[in-house]
Structure 1
Amino acid sequence: MFNEEFHFEQPIRWAMIGGGRGSQIGYSHRNAAQRDGLFKLMAGAFDLNADRCRDFGTSLGVDADRCYNNYQEMFTAEALREDGIQAVSIATPNSTHYEMCKAALEAGLHVVCEKPITFTTAEAEELKALSAKHNRVIAVMYGYSGFPMVQQAREMVKRGDLGEIRVINMQFAHGFHNEEYEKNDPSLKWRVSPAVAGPTYVLGDIGTHAFNLCEVITGLQVDRLSCMRQSFIASRTPLEDNAHVMMQFKGGAVGTLWASAVNAGAMHQQKIRVVGSLASIEWWDEQPNQLRYEIQGEAPRVLERGMGYLYQDASGVAANRVGGGHAEGYFESWANLYHRFALAFDAANRDDQEALAAIWFPGIDAGIEGVRLCEKCVESADQNAAWVEYK
């Protein structure tokens, strides 16, 4: 069970860029970061409008003089304070992530960033080098990877319970944007605008989540891929609202990824199925407490979160927050990740590289691979779904 008595001597002094009033993502970050008392919100540049920023920040308990007009002002002012911030979360549109991450690292801050972390792999690699130079940690908010049963699936693959991995089917295919809702929805409009969203829509927005689960659970590396993508809502061109990707992995396994915002009638439909030579597992984010486990020749079984028969990483610290049978979900998964982020930031602050290396969390390498996936899918689709080398 989760240990609520674990605390640092002082919580990590933390700030946010973006995530202002009415932002679901902003609330998700704040809820997760402060759940365990390991982070304390000290400052923020929550809104482009200074008055709105101050009004919102003070409603959260942030001092008015630490609600800043922009992130540059915040980094400069906080660096002069004895109690200045140590980490920052970035919850802004995609086009801003690279410059903000870079500025944060150069200011000596740890970073939690929404994905995609950059528009290009080269930019993401630059951030990785910069984080190493300053001994700062970059965490990328792949929020679904914090579910305990995802960690159970990862451990089952690692221990060989499935045998040799042969097939991975990934999908994240909702139906909420099956019409041109962006006409009246500013929060969707930027996601389908190339200048702000980048070179993809559903591949970068949700496809990378499904792909990250594949990386977390299997550890396999893509060798080459083929992608076709469509804009069923024509005004979204050149960004896709539906995409199918075929993958070949190093070692011989194969996979598919379906990312869609036009799967009419569906909620999330984010599922991953991993097929091995001995058995298969399947996880669905709408039923996150369960992991389906199917051994060839035996009756299918459902593994339940919080039970003693699970492997330790799915039942230990920073995993289960309530006993089995009770529903855990989205906020708990995010909080599990922020708990891990805190441990990583603390290890880096102490320059304990051994401890840092032992902590699993979605970091800069996960961010790089998400960007690379988008780049390679665009490259393939632009060549009429040609197979392209992944690296």
Structure 2
Amino acid sequence: MLNGEKRIFRPLRWGMVGGGRHSQVGYKHRTGALRDNTAFQLLAGAFDIDPERGKDFGMNIGVDEERCYPDYKTMFAEEAKRNDGVEVVSIATPNGTHYEICKAALEAGLHVICEKPLFFTSEEGRKIKALAEEKGKIVGVTYGFSGNQMLLQMRAMIEQGKIGDIRIVELQYTHGFSATEEAEKTSEAQKWRVDPKIAGPSFVLGDLSTHTYYMSQLIMPHMKIKELLCDRQSFVGSRAPLEDNAFVLMHYENGAVGRLWTSSVNAGCMDGHRIRIVGSKGSLEWWDSKPYELKYEVQGEPSQTLIRAMPYLDNLCNADERLGALHVEGLSDAWANIYLKFAIAIDAKNRGDEDTLNTLIYPDIDAGINGIRWVENCVRSAEKRSTWVAFQ
């Protein structure tokens, strides 16, 4: 159980690029990083493309005026001159800016925590991985939902053979908030998400389902995709060639099959984020709307609902528990869990502690690259008129 006691020697000196007043995701980064104030201390930021607005925002969240910078290049240069300069930076900016900012941060000697999808291409990912290894730095990816500890319970139960051999993987992440073109008119964040120059080669595949794909890999690390077929649509025509709905069929190397539905036009849906894993003995199902529950069904036996923080759960799961079984945890706690693991990974990297790095479960650079690869293969299949393609 986590109770806020320090897990590393001292809080990491932390800065942000983006994540300002009008950011959809910036507050999630801050609540995650600062939930355990023994892990990170926010000291600097280039919070906004508008320097004055960014400075005003930064000061309003407690950052010193002199450390509210007009842009990331100035921040990296000025912080490097300080004895108390930042040592890790989070990137909470539109997709098309991730690569250059991440590269600049690593070259400035900083660890990096970056929004997803990490970059446009897996080649960019490989270049950043090589640079991070050269500099001895960590690159983490904010797959925020993956911090829900019941996912680790699923992982433990699958490893223990509780549902037998995996046969079927059912994944869904859908909502209805972009059901009409009105979404682009009322939200700047939505507007850039459907611009290929800024968002990259996909909309919902990269923005939504990379979360779910990573979570499936977290739950089933031994399961590798052999081939897939992607059928994607732009129901709001102005979004083409980017999709607002997609279906992906997957064949795994062990013979299992998978299906994923991702959509921002599931009209009326508030939360359609579900994972169901079907084995030869039973099934496990998790739903984001009830992240503290895990449905466990064994053929021929009554269905069970496992509840977060209970002593019958695996230690892998309960190690991330915070509030006790009587109290509901949610997305803020999940973000806090992955940010704490980022801090542990950075501290271990600084100390050369390879044992900790090799056993710590968190979304690292490889997870980010795998997410890019998955999107690339989906796009490749869709552009070939939804044909099966070997997973590359």
TM-score above 0.5, yes or no: yes
1:234-292: CA deviation from partner (whole Å, max 9, x where unpaired): 11000000000000111111101100011111112110100111110000001101000
What code does the residue aligned with 1:96 have?
T
Alpha-carbon displacement from aligned partner over 1:94-152 (angstroms, at most 9, x marks no partner): 00011111111111111110001100010011111111111101110001110011111
Rounded Cα–Cα distance in structure 1 between residues aligned with 2:186 and 2:272: 25
Deviation at 1:62, TM superposition (A): 1.1
* 1:228 corresponding residue in structure 2: 231
Distance in 2, matches of 1:342 and 1:64, equals 26
Cα distance in 1, alignment partners of residues 3 and 64 from structure 2: 31
In 1, Cα distance between the equivalents of 2:148 and 2:5? 21
Extract unaligned runs of 5+ from structure 1. Answer: none
Deviations 1:143-195 (A, max 9, x none): 11100111111111122211111110001011111111212321211001100
Residue of structure 1 equivalent to 2:49: 48
Letter in structure 2 aligned against 1:147: N
Q: What residue is the counterpart of 1:339 in the other structure?
A: 340
Of 279, 296, 299, which aligns to 2:299? 296
Give the unaligned 5+ runs of structure 2: none
Tell me if the contact between 2:8 and 2:344 (Cα under 8 Å) persists in the aligned partners. Answer: no
Q: C-alpha separation between the residues in 2 aligned to 1:24 and 1:183?
A: 16
Aligned to 2:32: 32
Counterparts of residues 1-391 of structure 1 (less than 5 Å): 1-37=1-37, 38-180=39-181, 181-219=183-221, 220-316=223-319, 319-391=320-392
Work out whether residues 155 and 220 of structure 2, in 8 Å CA contact, stay in contact via their aligned partners in 1. yes
Over residues 186-216 of structure 1, what are the superposed CA-to-partner deviations in whole Å (9 max), with x where a residue is unaligned?
1211001100000000000101111111111
Say which is worse superposed, 223-232 or 55-64, in terms of deviation. Answer: 55-64
* Kept after mapping to 1: 8 A contact 2:7/2:344: no
Paired residues of 1:163 and 1:277 also in contact (CA < 8 A)? yes
Name the SS for the 2:338 alignment partner: helix
Deviates further, 1-10 or 344-353: 1-10
Mean alpha-carbon deviation: is it higher for 3-12 or for 215-224?
Answer: 3-12
- Decide whether the 8 Å contact of 1:16 with 1:91 is kept in 2: yes
Take 1:325 and 1:8, find their aligned partners in 2: how far apart are those partners? 29
Which secondary structure does the structure 2 equivalent of 1:167 belong to?
A: strand
SS at match of 2:208: helix
Letter aligned with residue 308 of structure 2: R
3-state DSSP class of the match of 1:136? Answer: coil
Output the CA distance in 2 between the equivalents of 1:376 and 1:8: 39
Q: Is contact 2:24–2:189 with CA below 8 Å preserved after alignment?
A: no
Q: Alignment partner of 1:21: what SS?
A: coil
Structure 2 letter corresponding to 1:384: R
**Secondary structure, in 3 states, of the residue corresponding to 1:150?**
helix
User: Whole-Å Cα distance in 2 between the matches of residues 5 and 122 of structure 1?
Assistant: 39
Mapped to 2, the partners of 1:36 and 1:354 lie a distance apart of: 23
Distance (Å, rounded) in 1 between the aligned partners of 2:362 and 2:7? 19
Q: Give the superposition deviation at 1:342.
A: 0.5
Rounded to whole Å, the distance in 2 between the matches of 1:254 and 1:12 is: 43
- Whether the 8 Å CA contact 1:305–1:325 is kept in 2: the answer is no
Q: What TM-score comes out, normalization by structure 1 length?
A: 0.98
**1-structure distance, mates of 2:390, 2:294:** 33
**SS at the partner of 1:24?**
coil
Quick check: 224-233 or 356-365, which moved more?
356-365
**Superposition deviation, residue 7 in structure 1:** 4.6
Q: How many residues align?
A: 389
